[in-house]
């Protein structure tokens, strides 16, 4: 049976429509919103990886000095910078004063900064360290090795950037300059609440 004009036209139209569909799927306008907000160029951002998909991290609880617990879910509605560190980690030690300073600067922008120690010495080690370095703004939070494994923390320092929806949108592995104007502006753009 011979194809009619309509059938011939349909055969040419379907592949063209399929191509339009593919282009719309990869169009930047339809890409994940966090990728555009969290992209950053330059040597200063080489430790940064923006996640292809922004997923809510597995739920873990960090211990507080009074025996309580704190979870990431408690911060929902605000951006959260979660830095995993240890007192024996030289790059971590270099970052801590900067994280302490930017905590106050980022709070009015809707972003919380939390530091989670992986020290086996627990809160005693953290407390002694905070006193020695005069860390005044960061709360003492401690995680177990199992918590680190659950969150796929492969080395220290590692920082998770969590958006106000509770999704991990990016990760910084290694030393990072947090206190520079470029970094502060980046954090506000990447994980700060979206302005309407």
* Domains of the chain: total: 2
107-123 burial, b at 16+ Cβ within 10 Å, e below that, comes to eeebbbbbbbbbbeeeb
Indicate the DSSP class of residue 156.
Answer: S
Q: Which of 10-14, 38-42, 93-97 has the lowest mean pLDDT?
A: 10-14
Q: Rounded distance, CA 38 to CA 186, Å?
A: 7
- Looking at the predicted structure, is the pLDDT value of residue 180 above 60? yes
> In terms of domains, do 47 and 136 share one?
yes
Q: What is the pLDDT of residue 41?
A: 86
> In terms of domains, do 144 and 59 share one?
yes
Confirm whether 196 is domain-assigned. no
> In terms of domains, do 77 and 119 share one?
yes
Kindly report, residue by residue over 39-70, the tens digit of the pLDDT: 998 888 999 999 999 999 999 999 999 999 99
- Looking at the predicted structure, is the pLDDT value of residue 17 above 50? no
Q: What is the pLDDT of residue 13?
A: 46
User: Helix or strand or coil: residue 36?
Assistant: helix
How many CB atoms neighbour CB 63 within 10 A? 19
Q: What is the pLDDT of residue 32?
A: 58
The mean pLDDT value for 188-194 works out to 94
Q: What is the pLDDT of residue 7?
A: 52
- Looking at the predicted structure, is the pLDDT value of residue 4 above 70? no
Q: What is the pLDDT of residue 194?
A: 81
Residue-number span of the structural domain to which 23 is assigned: 1-30
Indicate the DSSP class of residue 54.
Answer: E
134 Rama sector, left if φ>0, alpha if ψ -120 to 50, beta otherwise: left
Confirm whether 170 is domain-assigned. yes
Q: Rounded distance, CA 193 to CA 77, Å?
A: 8
> In terms of domains, do 106 and 24 share one?
no
Confirm whether 108 is domain-assigned. yes
Residue 188 tokens read as 């506000």
**pTM of the prediction?**
0.82
Contact 133, 122 (CB under 8 A): no
Kindly report, residue by residue over 109-146, the tens digit of the pLDDT: 999 999 999 999 999 999 999 999 999 999 999 999 99
Question: 113 - beta bridge partners?
Answer: 81
């Amino acid at each position: 049976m011979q194809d009619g004009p309509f059938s011939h036209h349909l055969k040419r139209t379907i592949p063209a429509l399929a191509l339009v569909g593919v282009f719309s799927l990869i169009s930047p306008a339809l890409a994940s919103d966090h990728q555009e907000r969290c992209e950053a160029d330059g040597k200063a951002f080489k430790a940064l990886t923006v996640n292809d998909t922004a997923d809510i991290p597995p739920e873990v609880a960090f211990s507080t000095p009074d025996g309580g617990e704190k979870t990431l879910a408690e911060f929902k509605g605000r951006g959260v910078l979660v830095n995993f560190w240890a007192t024996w980690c030289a790059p971590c030690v270099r970052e801590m004063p900067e994280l302490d300073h930017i905590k106050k600067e980022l709070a009015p922008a809707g972003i919380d900064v939390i530091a989670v120690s992986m020290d086996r010495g627990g809160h005693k080690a953290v407390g002694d360290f905070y006193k020695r370095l005069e860390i005044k703004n960061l709360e003492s939070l401690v995680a177990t090795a199992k918590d680190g494994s659950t969150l796929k923390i492969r080395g220290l320092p590692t920082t998770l950037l969590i958006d106000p929806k509770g999704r991990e949108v990016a990760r910084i592995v290694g030393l990072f300059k947090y206190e520079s104007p470029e970094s502060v502006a980046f954090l506000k753009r990447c994980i700060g609440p979206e302005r309407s």
